[in-house]
Structure 1
Amino acid sequence: MNAPEPLQSARAKLSLRIGSIRQSRFVADRLSLGLIIGALILNILALATLATHVRPTDVMVPTHYSSLRNFDALGPWYFPFEVAAFGLAVTLANTAFAYSSYNRSRLASFLLLSGAIVVGVFTLIVANAFGAVAPQ
Protein backbone atom coordinates (compact mmCIF):
# COMPACT_ATOMS: atom_id res chain seq x y z
CA MET A 1 0.00 0.00 0.00
CA ASN A 2 1.45 3.35 -1.06
CA ALA A 3 1.22 6.23 1.35
CA PRO A 4 0.64 9.78 0.04
CA GLU A 5 3.68 11.99 -0.44
CA PRO A 6 4.77 13.97 2.57
CA LEU A 7 3.83 17.62 2.63
CA GLN A 8 7.49 18.67 2.49
CA SER A 9 7.99 16.86 -0.81
CA ALA A 10 4.93 18.54 -2.31
CA ARG A 11 6.14 21.95 -1.13
CA ALA A 12 9.58 21.33 -2.61
CA LYS A 13 8.08 20.36 -5.97
CA LEU A 14 5.82 23.41 -5.96
CA SER A 15 8.76 25.65 -5.07
CA LEU A 16 10.80 24.22 -7.95
CA ARG A 17 7.90 24.69 -10.38
CA ILE A 18 7.35 28.31 -9.33
CA GLY A 19 11.09 28.94 -9.62
CA SER A 20 11.17 27.53 -13.15
CA ILE A 21 8.20 29.71 -14.14
CA ARG A 22 9.88 32.83 -12.74
CA GLN A 23 13.08 32.10 -14.68
CA SER A 24 11.32 31.32 -17.97
CA ARG A 25 11.66 33.54 -21.03
CA PHE A 26 7.88 34.08 -21.01
CA VAL A 27 7.96 35.95 -17.70
CA ALA A 28 11.03 37.94 -18.78
CA ASP A 29 9.26 39.18 -21.93
CA ARG A 30 7.90 42.66 -21.25
CA LEU A 31 5.25 42.49 -23.97
CA SER A 32 3.80 39.29 -22.53
CA LEU A 33 3.74 40.73 -19.03
CA GLY A 34 2.16 43.93 -20.31
CA LEU A 35 -0.61 42.03 -22.07
CA ILE A 36 -1.27 39.84 -19.02
CA ILE A 37 -1.35 42.81 -16.66
CA GLY A 38 -3.60 44.74 -19.06
CA ALA A 39 -6.07 41.86 -19.31
CA LEU A 40 -6.10 41.41 -15.53
CA ILE A 41 -6.68 45.14 -14.98
CA LEU A 42 -9.63 45.09 -17.40
CA ASN A 43 -11.15 42.10 -15.62
CA ILE A 44 -10.63 43.65 -12.19
CA LEU A 45 -12.25 46.89 -13.39
CA ALA A 46 -15.23 44.90 -14.68
CA LEU A 47 -15.62 43.09 -11.36
CA ALA A 48 -15.23 46.35 -9.41
CA THR A 49 -17.85 48.06 -11.57
CA LEU A 50 -20.29 45.23 -10.98
CA ALA A 51 -19.52 45.05 -7.26
CA THR A 52 -20.26 48.75 -6.82
CA HIS A 53 -23.37 48.95 -9.02
CA VAL A 54 -25.18 45.59 -8.96
CA ARG A 55 -27.07 44.67 -5.80
CA PRO A 56 -28.92 41.46 -4.91
CA THR A 57 -32.59 41.54 -5.82
CA ASP A 58 -35.51 39.14 -6.14
CA VAL A 59 -36.50 40.66 -9.48
CA MET A 60 -35.27 38.94 -12.64
CA VAL A 61 -32.92 41.12 -14.69
CA PRO A 62 -32.60 41.28 -18.49
CA THR A 63 -29.75 39.06 -19.67
CA HIS A 64 -30.12 39.16 -23.45
CA TYR A 65 -30.94 41.99 -25.84
CA SER A 66 -31.89 41.64 -29.47
CA SER A 67 -32.36 44.63 -31.75
CA LEU A 68 -35.38 42.87 -33.24
CA ARG A 69 -37.21 41.97 -30.03
CA ASN A 70 -35.55 44.15 -27.36
CA PHE A 71 -34.94 42.24 -24.10
CA ASP A 72 -35.94 38.65 -24.70
CA ALA A 73 -34.36 36.77 -21.80
CA LEU A 74 -34.42 37.30 -18.05
CA GLY A 75 -32.13 35.82 -15.43
CA PRO A 76 -30.94 36.13 -11.84
CA TRP A 77 -29.32 39.30 -10.50
CA TYR A 78 -25.87 37.68 -10.41
CA PHE A 79 -25.76 36.97 -14.16
CA PRO A 80 -23.41 39.93 -14.84
CA PHE A 81 -20.94 38.42 -12.38
CA GLU A 82 -20.99 35.20 -14.42
CA VAL A 83 -19.97 37.22 -17.48
CA ALA A 84 -17.10 38.81 -15.52
CA ALA A 85 -16.04 35.40 -14.18
CA PHE A 86 -16.02 34.07 -17.75
CA GLY A 87 -13.74 36.95 -18.80
CA LEU A 88 -11.37 36.17 -15.94
CA ALA A 89 -11.42 32.45 -16.80
CA VAL A 90 -10.58 33.22 -20.44
CA THR A 91 -7.69 35.43 -19.31
CA LEU A 92 -6.28 32.71 -17.05
CA ALA A 93 -6.73 29.97 -19.67
CA ASN A 94 -5.17 32.06 -22.44
CA THR A 95 -2.26 32.92 -20.15
CA ALA A 96 -1.67 29.23 -19.44
CA PHE A 97 -1.86 28.38 -23.15
CA ALA A 98 0.43 31.31 -24.02
CA TYR A 99 2.97 30.15 -21.43
CA SER A 100 3.00 26.63 -22.83
CA SER A 101 3.28 27.78 -26.45
CA TYR A 102 5.78 30.60 -25.94
CA ASN A 103 8.91 28.57 -26.73
CA ARG A 104 7.37 27.09 -29.88
CA SER A 105 5.68 30.20 -31.27
CA ARG A 106 5.92 33.67 -29.78
CA LEU A 107 3.31 34.89 -32.27
CA ALA A 108 0.75 32.35 -31.06
CA SER A 109 1.51 33.35 -27.50
CA PHE A 110 0.98 37.05 -28.24
CA LEU A 111 -2.24 36.33 -30.14
CA LEU A 112 -3.60 34.35 -27.19
CA LEU A 113 -2.78 37.19 -24.81
CA SER A 114 -4.25 39.74 -27.23
CA GLY A 115 -7.42 37.64 -27.31
CA ALA A 116 -7.53 37.88 -23.53
CA ILE A 117 -7.33 41.68 -23.84
CA VAL A 118 -10.23 41.71 -26.33
CA VAL A 119 -12.36 39.52 -24.06
CA GLY A 120 -11.46 41.81 -21.14
CA VAL A 121 -12.59 44.88 -23.11
CA PHE A 122 -15.92 43.28 -23.98
CA THR A 123 -16.36 42.12 -20.40
CA LEU A 124 -15.79 45.68 -19.21
CA ILE A 125 -18.34 46.97 -21.74
CA VAL A 126 -20.94 44.47 -20.52
CA ALA A 127 -20.15 45.33 -16.89
CA ASN A 128 -20.58 49.04 -17.61
CA ALA A 129 -23.88 48.36 -19.39
CA PHE A 130 -25.22 46.48 -16.37
CA GLY A 131 -23.75 49.07 -14.01
CA ALA A 132 -25.31 51.98 -15.91
CA VAL A 133 -28.80 50.97 -14.82
CA ALA A 134 -29.50 52.99 -11.70
CA PRO A 135 -30.76 50.93 -8.74
CA GLN A 136 -34.32 51.74 -7.70
Structure 2
Amino acid sequence: MSESSPSIAAAEATVVAAPKHFAEIKLPFAEDPETVFCLRNRDIADWERANDASLMATFRYMVEHRAGRAAHIREFIRLGLIGAGMPPVEAMRAVIRYVDEYPIADNFSAALAIVEAALYGTDEHRAQIAKAAADA
Protein backbone atom coordinates (compact mmCIF):
# COMPACT_ATOMS: atom_id res chain seq x y z
CA MET A 1 0.00 0.00 0.00
CA SER A 2 1.57 3.28 -1.03
CA GLU A 3 1.12 6.48 0.89
CA SER A 4 0.12 9.79 -0.67
CA SER A 5 2.77 12.44 -0.98
CA PRO A 6 2.65 15.12 1.72
CA SER A 7 1.41 17.76 -0.75
CA ILE A 8 -1.47 15.55 -1.92
CA ALA A 9 -2.38 14.64 1.67
CA ALA A 10 -2.38 18.32 2.64
CA ALA A 11 -4.55 19.21 -0.32
CA GLU A 12 -6.99 16.40 0.51
CA ALA A 13 -7.23 17.61 4.11
CA THR A 14 -8.23 21.11 3.03
CA VAL A 15 -10.84 20.08 0.48
CA VAL A 16 -14.29 21.28 1.48
CA ALA A 17 -17.53 20.19 -0.06
CA ALA A 18 -18.02 22.05 -3.29
CA PRO A 19 -20.96 24.42 -3.20
CA LYS A 20 -23.88 23.45 -5.35
CA HIS A 21 -24.11 25.00 -8.79
CA PHE A 22 -24.65 28.76 -8.57
CA ALA A 23 -27.95 28.55 -10.46
CA GLU A 24 -29.50 25.68 -8.49
CA ILE A 25 -32.85 26.65 -7.06
CA LYS A 26 -35.67 24.76 -5.34
CA LEU A 27 -39.25 25.60 -6.27
CA PRO A 28 -42.63 23.97 -5.85
CA PHE A 29 -43.43 22.06 -9.05
CA ALA A 30 -45.68 19.14 -9.79
CA GLU A 31 -46.19 17.20 -6.59
CA ASP A 32 -42.84 18.15 -5.04
CA PRO A 33 -42.65 21.34 -2.96
CA GLU A 34 -38.85 21.43 -3.44
CA THR A 35 -38.15 20.47 -7.04
CA VAL A 36 -34.57 21.33 -8.01
CA PHE A 37 -33.98 23.38 -11.16
CA CYS A 38 -30.67 24.50 -12.64
CA LEU A 39 -30.42 26.37 -15.92
CA ARG A 40 -26.79 25.86 -16.93
CA ASN A 41 -24.67 28.14 -19.11
CA ARG A 42 -24.30 25.54 -21.88
CA ASP A 43 -28.10 25.27 -22.06
CA ILE A 44 -28.42 29.05 -22.09
CA ALA A 45 -26.06 29.24 -25.07
CA ASP A 46 -28.08 26.58 -26.90
CA TRP A 47 -31.35 28.38 -26.07
CA GLU A 48 -29.98 31.72 -27.29
CA ARG A 49 -28.80 30.17 -30.58
CA ALA A 50 -32.11 28.38 -31.15
CA ASN A 51 -34.16 31.49 -30.40
CA ASP A 52 -31.79 34.11 -31.84
CA ALA A 53 -32.35 36.03 -28.61
CA SER A 54 -30.47 37.08 -25.51
CA LEU A 55 -31.59 35.37 -22.31
CA MET A 56 -30.89 38.54 -20.35
CA ALA A 57 -33.01 40.66 -22.72
CA THR A 58 -35.79 38.07 -22.62
CA PHE A 59 -35.67 38.03 -18.83
CA ARG A 60 -35.75 41.83 -18.67
CA TYR A 61 -38.79 41.90 -20.98
CA MET A 62 -40.57 39.27 -18.91
CA VAL A 63 -39.94 41.18 -15.67
CA GLU A 64 -40.87 44.61 -17.03
CA HIS A 65 -44.00 43.48 -18.86
CA ARG A 66 -45.01 40.54 -16.64
CA ALA A 67 -45.41 38.64 -19.89
CA GLY A 68 -43.52 36.10 -21.91
CA ARG A 69 -43.87 33.56 -24.68
CA ALA A 70 -45.44 30.28 -23.65
CA ALA A 71 -42.70 28.38 -25.47
CA HIS A 72 -40.03 30.22 -23.47
CA ILE A 73 -41.71 29.54 -20.13
CA ARG A 74 -42.05 25.87 -21.04
CA GLU A 75 -38.44 25.61 -22.22
CA PHE A 76 -36.94 27.35 -19.19
CA ILE A 77 -38.68 24.86 -16.94
CA ARG A 78 -37.66 21.88 -19.09
CA LEU A 79 -34.03 22.98 -19.31
CA GLY A 80 -33.98 23.74 -15.57
CA LEU A 81 -35.13 20.21 -14.79
CA ILE A 82 -32.53 18.71 -17.12
CA GLY A 83 -29.78 20.93 -15.72
CA ALA A 84 -30.65 19.71 -12.22
CA GLY A 85 -30.13 16.13 -13.33
CA MET A 86 -33.51 14.91 -14.55
CA PRO A 87 -33.20 12.79 -17.69
CA PRO A 88 -34.45 14.68 -20.78
CA VAL A 89 -37.31 12.27 -21.49
CA GLU A 90 -38.53 12.50 -17.89
CA ALA A 91 -38.22 16.31 -17.97
CA MET A 92 -40.33 16.43 -21.14
CA ARG A 93 -42.97 14.22 -19.50
CA ALA A 94 -43.05 16.51 -16.48
CA VAL A 95 -43.45 19.58 -18.70
CA ILE A 96 -46.23 17.94 -20.70
CA ARG A 97 -48.06 16.99 -17.53
CA TYR A 98 -47.43 20.00 -15.28
CA VAL A 99 -46.88 22.88 -17.69
CA ASP A 100 -48.83 22.10 -20.83
CA GLU A 101 -51.94 21.07 -18.90
CA TYR A 102 -52.15 24.28 -16.83
CA PRO A 103 -52.63 27.97 -17.58
CA ILE A 104 -49.38 29.56 -18.73
CA ALA A 105 -49.50 32.09 -15.89
CA ASP A 106 -49.30 29.24 -13.36
CA ASN A 107 -45.68 28.60 -14.38
CA PHE A 108 -44.60 32.16 -15.18
CA SER A 109 -43.08 32.88 -11.75
CA ALA A 110 -41.19 29.57 -11.73
CA ALA A 111 -39.72 30.30 -15.15
CA LEU A 112 -38.63 33.77 -14.02
CA ALA A 113 -37.01 32.37 -10.86
CA ILE A 114 -35.12 29.72 -12.86
CA VAL A 115 -33.76 32.29 -15.30
CA GLU A 116 -32.96 34.81 -12.55
CA ALA A 117 -30.89 32.19 -10.71
CA ALA A 118 -29.02 31.39 -13.93
CA LEU A 119 -28.27 35.04 -14.63
CA TYR A 120 -27.48 36.29 -11.13
CA GLY A 121 -26.90 33.22 -8.93
CA THR A 122 -28.69 32.64 -5.65
CA ASP A 123 -28.23 34.07 -2.17
CA GLU A 124 -27.84 30.52 -0.87
CA HIS A 125 -24.91 29.88 -3.22
CA ARG A 126 -23.17 33.09 -2.19
CA ALA A 127 -23.64 32.12 1.48
CA GLN A 128 -22.13 28.65 0.81
CA ILE A 129 -19.08 30.22 -0.81
CA ALA A 130 -18.63 32.67 2.06
CA LYS A 131 -18.93 29.86 4.62
CA ALA A 132 -16.48 27.64 2.73
CA ALA A 133 -13.99 30.53 2.59
CA ALA A 134 -14.44 31.27 6.29
CA ASP A 135 -13.98 27.59 7.20
CA ALA A 136 -10.83 27.21 5.09
Structure with greater contact order relative to length (CA < 8 Å, sep ≥ 6): 2
Q: Shorter-chain TM-score: which interval?
A: under 0.3
